[in-house]
Every structure is written in structure tokens, then in C-alpha cells.
Structure 1
Amino acid sequence: MSSSEKSVLQPAEQPWSTALVLVCSECEGGHGVDLAQRLKDAMKAAGHKKDVRVARVRCLGICPKRGVAVTITGAAQPAQSHVVTGKGHDAVAALTALIAPE
């Protein structure tokens, strides 16, 4: 490629530094939407409003029989997929500890 040609792909700065968390919004009949919001609120309360991004996505292709599919990736860790069972505080606490261990 000559210096006069521009690449079609340009690097973009990511707005998160700790983790990007993708939560399937279709799992458990839409429970993923609730889990994503609870996790987002927990990250904000723990002081990770700017460095952790929680995003609801469509199907992640994991499709557990029970639970919600979640994929976590970050600058310091490769992508990891998990199935979160339970709908309460325990599920959010387990994810919080995994995403941003103290």
C-alpha cells in the first residue's frame, strides 16, 4: 500500500480499560436484559463506571439450557465465556469479582 492510500480499517481508542462484558439479551426469556442492567449498576457503584463497559447483545451462540451467556474480555485478559445461573445478587457479585477483582 502506498503512503497516498488510506486503509479501510482505522484503529479506534476503546472507552474501557478493564473489561468489555457482553450479555446475551435473549437468554432465559430476556432475563439477560435485567442481568446486564444489574451488572452495570454494580460496576458503577464499585467505581468502575468508565473502565468497564457492559453491553447487551443478541445471541452469543452459547445458548445454555438454563442461565444467561456472558462473554468478558479486556486488555489484560483473553475473552472468556460463562453461563450465569441464578437471577439475584449472587450472580452479579460473582461476575463483579471476576471482572474487577479487588
Structure 2
Amino acid sequence: MSDGFRVNTDELEAVVKRLRDLQQNLGQTANKSKYNTVIARSDYGGDFLEAQSLYTAHDRMQQSLAQMTADLESLINDFGDKAKAVHDGYRNVEAQHAADMQKQQEGH
């Protein structure tokens, strides 16, 4: 007998798909921030005091963005893997219940 709850496994599957799409976009953003924002030390000029500070600040920001995107990717992986495991678990339970019901109907 049903205990009154239902899990929408299709929605869990959709969440995982959206997370993987987000992860792909995040990977593209990480690559752009790492490879498309390279500025040589000489591009800041060398004839004023702040040139080194600007170069260092840019380098730190680039590293910070790389760390943030890596952290986000890790969170997305973790959540996506857990959501998929829950989805698969509910699917397995549903399949087992359907098989049990089929056996009961065949037995009567």
C-alpha cells in the first residue's frame, strides 16, 4: 500500500542535465579567464611604480578566478553525482516495486 509520497525522477534527471550544462559553460569561462586574459609584465610599462602592482593584482585576480571556477566545478560535480545517485536509487526502487506487483498479479 502506498504511503503517500512520490518522487519525480524525471525532474532529478533534468537537474543533473542542467548542472552538467552549467559545468560545461563554467569550463569555457575558466579557460577564457586563464588563457584569454594573459597580460605580459611589459604591457603595463615599466617606467612607473604602479606597473608591478598592477601586474601582481592581475595575476592574483586570475588565480582567484581559477580557484573559484574550480571550487564551483567541484560543487557541481558533487551535487550532480548525488542527484544522479538519488535518481538511480528511486528508479531502482520503482522497478523493484513494479516487478513485485507483477509477481503478485501473476500469483493470483
Normalising by the residue count of structure 2, what TM-score does the alignment of the two structures yield?
0.24
| Structure with more relative contact order (C-alpha pairs < 8 Å, separation 6 or more) | 2
Who wins on radius of gyration, i.e. which is larger? 2
| Greater share of helix | 2
TM-score (norm 1): 0.25
Higher percent of residues as strand: 1
